Homo-oligomer: A and B are copies of this chain.
């Protein structure tokens, strides 16, 4: 069997550690240069394959590839591009395989969430029926922590650490000023469907009663009266109240709070967001002075405060993808397996893509406290190990020194462009 090339692509929203997975893939592939030829990376994710825009990773130095480990976001470019179903657009999948064939690619490493696991699986299946079999390995990545079979998802631990640290720091700010100023602080975090990221805010608590005092999860129907009472009670008792709100917080009927706030009584579109909606509610009903922050991209790009555990795991699943491919595995996802027992430890396992694709793992009910505003001990036991350890990037001129790639494109071999 001749030596095949590998294709690596980043998919969907990026994270602080997805490049650590890229680093793992590339370093492992380079160690096995007797079995793997070139590593190509998709320029802007899977679009790079469709458009035959392949970045020649061989042009990047050992130092640059090592620096990917501490560089946030998608260094090769990612994209929000969901391939249609096989029935709807078989040509798209055929195009992928055509490009892979033209560049002698035998390994497809796709680094993403649930949608990309599905694409990965289909590429593997269709390539088989087209007589050009490709080993397709999915590398897990998502800040949403919603992939099944893996104990947690690379990318989540670092967002969780950012949210815990930011909540703790902002809470100290509010506490110190609350006698004469702001009484309520709201931090809006990501998580449209699952409350994992909001739950991580609870890791700011060192003792019972510490901030955050209220967490709003998408999984718990928002009850305005109960919420406002809890805010007032907390302010009465502590002097201030800190809230971590998931962007997906919603009423019992499924209406998002963010949407609820975006239209006024006359039907005019207003600027939305959960935090300003809650702030407005608190001001109108309780008359309390508030402040709010919207972390947005800052949270998933915050490599400067990444979890060392997360970085190690992201790197490990990247390496494992290559090693498993070389063992002949196909249509699988390396995943993180938590050790049994009281001490936290982990190893790399694997899951078949047929069981990963399009399955969302929600936060277990038993992780949410009875009043719906916090997490349980079980939730804390699950979350706490994921934010352990600091893994600071090197700094230069006062700011992190992140990798800059050359991104040299490989010459095209196909005459026709992609007609997507």
CB distance from A71 to the nearest CB of B (A): 7
Q: When the two chains form the complex, which single residue of B14, B72, B177 contacts A177, counting CB atoms closer than 8 Å?
A: B14
A264 at the interface (CB under 8 A from B): yes
Q: At the interface with chain B, which of A25-33, A105-113, A367-375, A392-400? A: A392-400
Instruction: Select the residue from A16, A79, A80, A399 with max chain B CB neighbours within 10 A.
Output: A399
Known A165-B399, A384-B398; contact A173-B304, beta-carbon cutoff 8 A: no
Does residue A340 face the partner (Cβ distance < 8 Å to B)? no
Whether the Cβ atoms of B399 and A298 lie closer than 8 Å is no
- Complex alpha-carbon distance, A334 and B392, angstroms: 34
A71 to B303, CA, bound (A): 21
CA distance A79 to B390 in the complex (A): 33
For window 368-420 of A, CB contacts with B under 8 Å fall at 384, 387-390, 392, 395, 397-400, 402
Residues A203 and B388 in contact, CB atoms below 8 Å apart: no
- A304's contact among B75, B81, B187, B305, by CB below 8 Å, is which? B305
A130 at the interface (CB under 8 A from B): no
Whole-angstrom distance between the Cβ of A85 and the nearest chain B Cβ? 19
Whether A268 contacts B266 in the complex (CB less than 8 A), given A173-B301, A293-B295, A398-B161, comes out as yes
Chain B CB count within 10 A is highest, among A44, A169, A280, for A169
Total interface residues in chain A, CB < 8 Å: 78
Are B173 and A297 in touch, CB under 8 angstroms? Answer: yes
Do the beta carbons of A203 and B399 come within 8 Å of each other? Answer: yes
Q: Give Cα distance in the complex from A74 to B178, angstroms.
A: 11
Question: Which A positions have Cβ atoms within 8 angstroms of B?
Answer: 10, 13-14, 16, 44, 47, 71-81, 161, 164-166, 168-170, 172-177, 179-181, 185, 187, 203-204, 206, 261, 264-266, 268, 270-273, 276-277, 279-280, 291-298, 300-305, 307, 384, 387-390, 392, 395, 397-400, 402
Q: A14-B177, A77-B175, A165-B304 are in contact. List 7 more A-B contacts (CB 8 A).
A: A14-B173, A47-B179, A169-B301, A170-B296, A270-B270, A273-B276, A291-B296
